[in-house]
């Protein structure tokens, strides 16, 4: 089926999120949408799916006008969507999440899910996924949850499939598999709208690329364009995708982790025998496929994990067992993996989120009172410095686009005097312009003599930034190599092959 949007406009207060957008997706076409964080991509897709009401605009399916006021209308005309923010119910099983809204009942009214179960397993094996239909979603890693989202969209034979950053949390291998899935669907006539910040993927699958900037369509690009060309179309200026860095050696050790072990609630090991050092002005990247203990190790660095044994010395001082607050104030900046869940308080304003960690200190606190003026000034400053795209510093942080949320976290964490920066997936979901910015900031921290511990599943990012690369596999550090290692060597290590 084909889908056409005509003159879609949506404003939030004075902000024009979508400005008279026209878009046409034919059947059997993969139509990529590129745009900076906050360009209005998700808003547009949510409008098509009926989750957001447009101010004006019309939709045509196969040339016939349709009205979409709610998701049920979109589903009825055959539109399926993978949302940027998971639409999964954490306490439900995979199966329950997938059949929700499409339940089959037996004659006596009880749920009949054996057909759905079979179909899930069939789809999963067809696409090379491994999935347990009875696993509870909250116990699954983000990568697996993403697969569940994708399965949900594939289950009911959507004729028009909207994919809002489906690959943001997938590993390179998973992404490759996913690209194959998209190609198969295209071959079967499905129209696909694909949103991604990863230009490599977009170039690999897209038949057509629409570029959106500040709510307007600015270009229809050819997938054969180079990454640099696409990037500058999005951002409106030339982008330097490969940061150059200077290696320098400074031998003072800032962080020394020795014999670190982390166990889960019942004592099963999650992470074992971790040993590493990070020097002043050095970036140590922890690479690896999602779910190999990186999250636990990162949490342990600021004592967010309970069952930690071993030692972490920060400038010679033991920090294992400190409170989270003390850990942070002993000089650690912490950028958590999930910004919505752990990095920000959605209902608080941008200004408030920027001082979450220092609200009790001068100049934000004056005795028992808060100094709103100081808070405001700080926010104004950071919004400019980190290029946070927002209408107002008083807007709730939940109204920001994904990339801008990440900038708020970074702005807050890098404002304290720190010795160690722990950054987990700092560029997940960010546009190329923002990635360039974040990389620049991380390198600046390094130049300023800080130690940086970078957790990333993005091989490109690891290769660009790291001075040394540790690869984690099944809770252990398989090997620590230096930056001259090749992509292939690291890829093998990530797969658990130790040469």
Partner 1 sequence: MKKMSVARKRTLRFLIILGALNLLALAKFGFGNHSTLSTTYGLVLGHEWIILHSVVVKSSTGSTFFALLGLLGCGLGFLFFKLNKTSLAGISIASISILFSFICWAATGKFIPLTGLLQGGLMLAVPLIFGSMSGLLCERSGVINIAIEGQLLAGAFASAVVASVTHKTMLGLIIAPIAGAAVSVLLATFAIKFGVDQVILGFVLNVLVYGLTDFLYKRLLIPYQSTWNQAPSFSQISIPILGKIPIIGPIFFDQTIIVYLMYAIVAAISYGLFRTKWGLRTRSVGEHPEAADSVGIDVNKLRFRNVVIAGLVAGLGGAYFTIGSVGSFGKEMTAGSGFIALAALIFGKWTPKGAILAALLFGFADNLQGTLSIIGVSVPSEFMLMVPYIATIIAVSGLIGRVRAPAADGVFYSRGESH
| Positions that interact with partner 1 (CB under 8 A) | 46, 49, 51-53, 70-72, 75-76, 81, 83, 85, 87-92, 96-97, 99-103, 105, 109-111, 152, 263, 265-267, 306-307, 346, 398-399
Among 39, 270, 410, 494, interactor with ligand ATP by CB under 6 A: 39
Residue 100 interacts with which of Mg ion, ligand ATP, partner 1, none, CB < 5 to 8 Å by class: partner 1
Contact segment (CB under 5 A) with Mg ion among 39-47, 227-235, 301-309, 475-483 equals 39-47
Nearest approach in angstroms of CB 10 to ligand ATP is 8
> Rounded distance, CA 341 to CA 384, Å?
25
- For every residue of 438-466, DSSP letters joined together read HHHHHHHHHHTT-EEEEE-S-HHHHHHH-
Region binding ligand ATP by CB under 6 A among candidate stretches 11-19, 244-252, 412-420, 446-454: 11-19
Distance of alpha carbon 481 from alpha carbon 470, whole angstroms: 6
Shortest Å, Cβ 17 to Mg ion:
11
Of 84 and 415, which CB lies nearer to ligand ATP in the complex structure?
Answer: 84
Q: What are phi and psi of 254, to 5 degrees?
A: -95, -45
- Residues contacting residue 100 through CB under 8 Å, at least 6 positions apart: 89, 92
Closest CB 146 distance from partner 1, rounded Å? 15
Q: What is the DSSP letter of 113?
A: -
DSSP 293-340: SHHHHHHHHTT--SSEEEEEEETTEE-TT--HHHHHHTTEEEE-S-II
Q: Does 353 bind ligand ATP (CB under 6 A)?
A: no
Nearer to partner 1, 108 or 187 (CB): 108
Choose one: 178-186, 235-243, 370-378, 400-408; the region binding ligand ATP (CB under 6 A): 400-408
Q: How many residues does the chain have?
A: 499
Determine which residue in the list 42, 113, 457, 464 makes contact with Mg ion, applying CB under 5 A.
42
> Using CB under 5 A, which of 17, 30, 48, 84 touches Mg ion?
84
Residue 163 CB, nearest approach to Mg ion (Å)? 11
The residue among 309 and 359 lying less far from partner 1, judged by its C-beta, is 309
Using the rule CB under 5 A, is 46 a contact of Mg ion?
no
CB nearer to ligand ATP: pick between 269 and 396: 396
If the CB atoms of residues 214 and 272 are measured against ligand ATP, the closer one turns out to be 214
Is the Cβ–Cβ distance between 389 and 406 less than 8 Å?
Answer: no
The residue within the footprint of ligand ATP, chosen from 25, 30, 35, 471 (CB under 6 A), is 35
Q: Report the C-alpha gap between 278 and 405 in whole angstroms.
A: 28
State the minimum distance, in angstroms, from the CB of residue 337 to ligand ATP: 17
Phi, psi (degrees; rounded to nearest 5) at 433: -65, -45
Residue (74 or 418) nearer to partner 1, CB: 74
Element (H, E) at 147: helix 142-155
Of ligand ATP, Mg ion, partner 1, none, which one does residue 96 interact with (CB within 5 to 8 Å by kind)? partner 1
* Residues linked to residue 471 through DSSP beta bridges, in sequence order: 287, 479
Q: How many CB atoms neighbour CB 193 within 10 A?
A: 25
Count other C-beta atoms under 10 Å from residue 325's C-beta.
Answer: 12
- Contact between 133 and 120 under an 8 Å Cβ cutoff? The reply is yes
d(CA 423, CA 60): 44
> Quick one: 84 or 295, whose CB is closer to Mg ion?
84
Query: Could you tell me if 160 and 80 are in contact, meaning their C-beta atoms sit under 8 angstroms apart?
Result: yes
Q: Which does 17 bind (CB under 5 to 8 A by kind): partner 1, ligand ATP, Mg ion, none?
A: ligand ATP
Residue with tokens 């009911």: 156
Q: How far is CA 122 from the centre of its chain?
A: 28
User: Which of ligand ATP, partner 1, Mg ion, none sits in contact with 459, Cβ below 5 to 8 A by type?
Assistant: none
- Mention every residue, 6+ apart, whose C-beta is less than 8 A from residue 199: 34, 227, 230, 231, 432
> Between residues 141 and 392, which has the closer beta carbon with respect to ligand ATP?
392
Residue 209, helix vs strand vs coil: strand
Comparing CB distances to partner 1, the nearer of 169 and 470 is: 169
Give yes or no for residue 408 binding ligand ATP (CB under 6 A).
Answer: no
Q: Where are the beta strands (DSSP E) in 215-265?
A: 216-221, 253-263
Q: Which is nearer to ligand ATP, 255 or 344 (CB)?
A: 344
> CA-to-CA distance for 241 and 380, rounded, in angstroms?
28
C-beta of 84: minimal distance to Mg ion in Å? 5
Binding footprint of ligand ATP, residue count (CB under 6 A): 19
Pick between residue 162 and residue 285 the one whose CB is nearest to Mg ion.
162
Tell me which residue of 413, 350, 418, 416 sits closest to 384, measured CA to CA.
350
Q: CB of residue 55 vs ligand ATP: minimum separation in angstroms?
A: 13
Closest residue to bound Mg ion by CB: 42
Residues found near ligand ATP in the complex (CB under 6 A): 12, 15, 17, 35, 37-43, 84, 389, 399-403, 431
Residues found near Mg ion in the complex (CB under 5 A): 42, 84
């Amino acid at each position: 089926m084909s889908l056409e949007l005509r003159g879609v406009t949506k404003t939030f207060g004075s902000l024009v999120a979508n400005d008279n957008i026209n878009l046409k997706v034919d059947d059997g076409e993969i139509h990529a949408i590129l745009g900076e964080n906050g360009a209005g991509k998700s808003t547009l897709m949510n409008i098509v799916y009926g989750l957001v009401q447009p101010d004006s605009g019309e939709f045509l399916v196969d040339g016939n006008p349709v009205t979409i006021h709610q998701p049920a209308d979109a589903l009825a005309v055959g539109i399926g969507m993978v949302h940027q923010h998971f639409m999964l119910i954490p306490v439900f099983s995979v199966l329950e999440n997938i059949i929700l809204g499409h339940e089959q009942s037996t004659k006596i009214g009880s749920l009949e899910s054996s057909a759905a179960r079979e179909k899930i397993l069939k789809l999963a094996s067809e696409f090379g996924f491994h999935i347990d239909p009875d696993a509870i979603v909250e116990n699954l890693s983000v990568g697996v949850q993403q697969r569940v989202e994708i399965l949900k969209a594939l289950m009911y034979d959507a004729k028009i499939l909207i994919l809002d950053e489906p690959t943001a949390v997938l590993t390179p291998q998973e992404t490759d598999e996913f690209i194959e899935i998209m190609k198969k669907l295209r071959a079967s006539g499905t129209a696909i709208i694909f949103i991604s910040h990863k230009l490599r993927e977009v170039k690999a699958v897209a038949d057509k690329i629409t570029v959106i900037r500040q709510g307007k369509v600015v270009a229809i690009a050819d997938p054969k364009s180079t990454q640099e060309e696409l990037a500058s179309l999005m951002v409106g200026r030339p982008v330097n995708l490969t940061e150059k860095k200077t290696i320098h050696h400074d031998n003072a050790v800032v962080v020394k982790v020795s014999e670190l072990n982390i166990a889960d609630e019942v004592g099963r090991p999650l992470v074992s025998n971790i040993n590493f050092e990070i020097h002043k002005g050095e970036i140590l990247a922890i690479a690896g496929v999602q779910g190999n203990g990186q999250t636990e190790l990162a949490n342990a660095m600021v004592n967010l994990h309970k069952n930690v044994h071993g030692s972490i010395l920060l400038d010679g001082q033991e920090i294992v067992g400190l409170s989270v607050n003390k850990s942070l104030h002993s000089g650690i900046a912490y950028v958590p993996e999930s910004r919505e869940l752990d990095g920000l308080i959605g209902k608080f304003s941008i200004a408030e989120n920027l001082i979450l960690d220092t609200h009790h200190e001068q100049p934000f606190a004056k005795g028992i009172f808060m100094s709103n003026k100081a808070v405001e000034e700080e926010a104004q400053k950071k919004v400019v410095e980190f290029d946070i795209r927002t209408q107002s510093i008083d807007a709730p942080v939940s109204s920001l686009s994904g990339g801008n949320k990440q900038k708020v976290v970074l702005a807050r964490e890098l404002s304290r005097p720190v010795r160690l920066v722990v950054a987990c997936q700092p560029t997940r979901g960010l546009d190329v312009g923002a990635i360039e910015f974040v990389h620049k900031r991380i390198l600046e921290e390094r130049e300023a003599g800080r130690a940086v511990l970078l957790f990333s599943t993005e091989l490109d990012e690891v290769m660009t930034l790291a001075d040394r690369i540790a690869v984690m596999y099944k809770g252990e550090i398989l090997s620590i190599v230096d930056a001259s290692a090749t992509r292939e060597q690291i890829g093998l290590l990530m797969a658990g092959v130790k040469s």
